[in-house]
Structure 1
Amino acid sequence: MSTVASSQSNVVDPRTARKVTLAGCVGIFAELYDNGIFGFMAGTLAAVFFPDSANAVMLVFVGYAISFFFRPLGGIICGHLGDRIGRQRMLVFVIMLISVATAAIGLLPTYAAIGIAAPILLILLRVLQGFSVGGEAAGAMTFLAEHAPPGKRGLYTSYAQIASFLSLLTGTLIAAAMTSGLGADRMQSFGWRIPFLLAIPLGITGLYIRRRISDTPNFTRLQEEGGLARNPLKEAFSSPRHRRAMLLALFIPLMNGSGYYVLFTYMPTFMSKELHFGKVEGLLVTAVSLVAISVAIPFMGALSDKVGRKKVIAGAAIAMALAGVPCYLLIGTGNVALAILGASIMAVIFAGHTGVIHILLVELFPTRVRYSAYGLGYNISSAVFGGTAPLLMTFLIGQTGDVHIPAYYAVLTALGTLIAVSRVRDRAHEPLRDA
């Protein structure tokens, strides 16, 4: 079997590529809204499910972190099936799963009603969310990359990242509007359920769209040729080249820990609990920074198509290592305008990582094992360095009293990403491989 797919057989007409990309982004929006709303509602969930604990917020983030250790399992199972029976079928499955789990959280009895069973059920449903996202991350990016026109893979896959951050923005605005409009008492009484129940219409929309799109030309051609791997993950582990690529997929996403999971998901809680901003002020800062990153992402994706993935990610890592501490000092001034400036600068810098990281990882692997191998490496990274980040920040700040811990974490993860990406062969200007 040829190690490089024919450039002619991989061509997708631009109209089809745009249609598939739009469909994929709508599904990603629904999926990641469901996943992200848990973090935005952490303060309220703490009061509802852990009312008698002095460490209620930390316990919510324990549940948040636990769910991430089920992401690799989701990546393994969904990746194996995605490489065996198709990407489209698995994307339909994962959006069904997370929509049901998220809506079920909105229907849970509170601690006051059923005691300790309430937080146990909350964490179990959060685990299902984590499993689903484990199958979503690699699957959606693989799907979009394999449909993208030649020379535009970075741009087209970056649209999915815009969808993911717009979903966070939507969650932020909903949480801010409800917290401001209902007040703490009514939020804890019934208001906290509404953001989770919105998963029902979002899930139905995403499911409808994903069922109407076809599988990728790469997968379909390989299937017709009888070239699918019988055991994709076993095949990946048997190859020194694939093992090295999976190791890189573990460490290149390090900046996600300080970016996606601290700067955006944890930031409202951090600003409210540690910096004594109002809850709505913290959500406002996050909302503006989400707008900034959403605007910057497609420019970074397009830039990576021209100059390569390595240069863009390495540049973002260097910039974050230099700007991380000064930006957090701006946030820590207590001034909303300066906090917005600091968070927005970090957001634009982080766009150079998050807007490019997924297409770089897609290009590390051939079609035969792409979903499985990419999913395993990336989801282990998310579990170890991402999902634990809010819990780690809460714990370390509590132990040291130093509110600059997130700044140090930003610098360390940026340096880790810089070292890892320096070891990658840039395939931005090569066709996707089949084997």
Structure 2
Amino acid sequence: MSTVAAQPVPNTVDGRTARRITLAGCVGIFAELYDNGIFGFMAGTLATVFFPGSHDAVQLVFLGYAVSFFFRPLGAVICGHLGDRIGRQRMLVFVILLISAATAAIGVLPSYAAIGVAAPALLILLRVAQGFSVGGEASGAMSFLAEHAPEGRRGQYTSYAQIASFLSLLTGTLIAAAMTSGLGADRMEAWGWRIPFLLAVPLGLTGLYIRRRISDTPNFTRLREENGLSRNPLKEAFSSAEHRRAMLLALFIPLMNGSGYYVLFTYMPTFMSTELDFSKVQGLLVTASSLVAICLAIPYMGRLSDRIGRKRVIAGSAITMAVVGIPCYLLIGTGNLALAVLGACVMAVVFAGHTGVIHILLVELFPTRLRYSAYGLGYNVSSALFGGTAPLLMTWLIARTGNVNMPAFYAVLTALGTLAAVSVVKDRAHLPLRDA
């Protein structure tokens, strides 16, 4: 292996190019995660359309939501291997094309009333395709942005991608709220539910157009020119004690995503309308308020991590969440809309210290030659085990115990798990990305 490939090389991308690449990456991430998130926001309506008459309809929808997460690691392995072998840019084009097609296909699915059990079966199959795509998205997009970012500003630049992901959730929330309020339950169940899914077409085409026009990262290009690419990135990762340890950290540090991204935001509208005394629109508005709060907080957390390190910011977020998680959920459980907004927004700002920094911390754990594969596998196994299953777990626990505070307990538990994992990380915030 050449000296150039073996040693950390500071990124020489100029700020203007980095900003253009970041904007392009964020647009793609927005389209990709809107497609993924709208399924959770429409869970109540999908339950009626695809599982009519079932007492466990919402749980069945979230079962389909959870099943797709177990295909994320497969997407991470396949897309990661190809991304480390032929380039990040090509795989990012592929994953946005796949998820957009799958989401739009959901929008034209016949209902249970039209074709019987084939309808929910096809729904889950398309959700699996979404999961496969997202498995190749997160690690690929974050690696792509980090490898383009100027030195000393990787936390700031990659945090913009997280803003895009939450803006996509906010857009989905507002669309779902506006349509539910404007059309009413009957028209939403008859045909209105299709519209948010069909919006994947223009969003996907926009993201596809932009991603096709961007170049691959300097780190990957340099490795390719020096013949430093790995022939089998995952095999190489598993053969190294350092990389095995890093993949374990990538598995456990994201624990807070389960109570944050997948409960506080994705599951919250359904939780508030089915378990608490809120209407569907009120639940969506509370979620929208918390999404605005986290979008405002994330860039500050990213910049803070560039100054004081990723480890300190994530640990601070975890400690704070363990303290405020239960009180904030008690505010939501009062049934008062203003107090619910306050509780959700406080949790969102706290969670920003995790979600705005987690990806760049994981990117920095791995060298370029196997980053996409190893980071993607660890992170997506974590998402499958602790993220996508979270809404299903919450509905099951609440049904079994009758205790609507289960999401609060889950928030505290996952925060403590993240704190324990991040405490053993070597912080590389102030070092160049390694190529090998």
Match of 1:177 in 2: 178
SS in 2 for 1:372: helix
Counting only pairs closer than 5 Å after superposition, residues 177-216 of structure 1 correspond to structure 2 as: 177-216=178-217
| AA of the residue aligned to 2:264 | L
Counting only pairs closer than 5 Å after superposition, residues 267-416 of structure 1 correspond to structure 2 as: 267-416=268-417
Distance in 2 between the 1:127 and 1:360 partners?
Answer: 28
Q: Does 1:226 align with 2:227?
A: yes
Render the CA deviation track for 1:215-234: whole Å, top value 9, x for unaligned.
00000000000000000000
Distance in 1 between the 2:123 and 2:197 partners?
Answer: 12
Distance in 1 between the 2:277 and 2:238 partners?
Answer: 48
Render the CA deviation track for 1:329-377: whole Å, top value 9, x for unaligned.
0000000000000000000000000000000000000001000000000
Q: Does 1:111 align with 2:112?
A: yes
Distance in 1 between the 2:122 and 2:149 partners?
Answer: 40
Give how far 1:52 is off.
1.9
Does the CA contact (< 8 Å) of 2:250 and 2:362 recur in 1? yes
Does the CA contact (< 8 Å) of 1:255 and 1:413 recur in 2? yes
Does the CA contact (< 8 Å) of 1:4 and 1:432 recur in 2? no
Distance in 2 between the 1:370 and 1:332 partners?
Answer: 42
Distance in 2 between the 1:141 and 1:406 partners?
Answer: 28
Does the CA contact (< 8 Å) of 1:111 and 1:119 recur in 2? yes
Q: Does 1:69 align with 2:84?
A: no
Match of 2:167 in 1: 166
| AA of the residue aligned to 1:314 | A
Distance in 2 between the 1:155 and 1:331 partners?
Answer: 31
Does the CA contact (< 8 Å) of 1:320 and 1:349 recur in 2? yes
Render the CA deviation track for 1:87-129: whole Å, top value 9, x for unaligned.
0000000000000000000000000000000000000000000
Match of 2:151 in 1: 150
Match of 1:6 in 2: 9
Counting only pairs closer than 5 Å after superposition, residues 71-90 of structure 1 correspond to structure 2 as: 71-90=72-91
User: Percent identity at matched positions?
Assistant: 82
Does the CA contact (< 8 Å) of 2:9 and 2:435 recur in 1? no
SS in 2 for 1:369: helix
Give how far 1:6 is off.
2.0
Distance in 2 between the 1:380 and 1:52 partners?
Answer: 34
| AA of the residue aligned to 1:53 | S
SS in 2 for 1:368: helix
Distance in 1 between the 2:172 and 2:70 partners?
Answer: 23
Give how far 1:408 is off.
0.2
Distance in 1 between the 2:266 and 2:79 partners?
Answer: 25
| AA of the residue aligned to 1:12 | V
Match of 2:27 in 1: 26
Does the CA contact (< 8 Å) of 1:300 and 1:351 recur in 2? yes
| AA of the residue aligned to 2:230 | A
SS in 1 for 2:368: coil
Distance in 2 between the 1:53 and 1:225 partners?
Answer: 59
| AA of the residue aligned to 2:9 | S
| AA of the residue aligned to 2:194 | R
Distance in 1 between the 2:377 and 2:280 partners?
Answer: 36
Structure 1: any 5+ residue segments left out of the alignment? Answer: none
Does the CA contact (< 8 Å) of 1:4 and 1:431 recur in 2? no
Distance in 2 between the 1:213 and 1:302 partners?
Answer: 25
Render the CA deviation track for 1:384-406: whole Å, top value 9, x for unaligned.
00000000000000000000000
| AA of the residue aligned to 2:13 | V
Give me the CA root mean square deviation.
Answer: 0.5
Give how far 1:4 is off.
2.9
Distance in 2 between the 1:181 and 1:339 partners?
Answer: 23
Distance in 2 between the 1:4 and 1:284 partners?
Answer: 50
Distance in 1 between the 2:280 and 2:204 partners?
Answer: 28
Distance in 1 between the 2:367 and 2:243 partners?
Answer: 9
Match of 1:138 in 2: 139
Does the CA contact (< 8 Å) of 1:251 and 1:381 recur in 2? yes
| AA of the residue aligned to 2:355 | T
| AA of the residue aligned to 2:301 | M
| AA of the residue aligned to 2:280 | K
Distance in 2 between the 1:118 and 1:281 partners?
Answer: 29
Q: Does 1:260 align with 2:261?
A: yes
Distance in 2 between the 1:6 and 1:90 partners?
Answer: 24
Structure 2: any 5+ residue segments left out of the alignment? Answer: none
Distance in 2 between the 1:48 and 1:276 partners?
Answer: 23
Does the CA contact (< 8 Å) of 1:61 and 1:391 recur in 2? yes
| AA of the residue aligned to 1:273 | T
Distance in 2 between the 1:135 and 1:69 partners?
Answer: 13
Distance in 2 between the 1:416 and 1:94 partners?
Answer: 31
| AA of the residue aligned to 1:5 | P
TM-score by length of 2: 0.99
Distance in 2 between the 1:330 and 1:131 partners?
Answer: 36
Render the CA deviation track for 1:274-309: whole Å, top value 9, x for unaligned.
002000000000000000000000000000000000
Render the CA deviation track for 1:228-255: whole Å, top value 9, x for unaligned.
0000000000000000000000000000
Distance in 2 between the 1:340 and 1:12 partners?
Answer: 41
Match of 1:94 in 2: 95
Distance in 2 between the 1:324 and 1:300 partners?
Answer: 19
Q: Does 1:241 align with 2:242?
A: yes
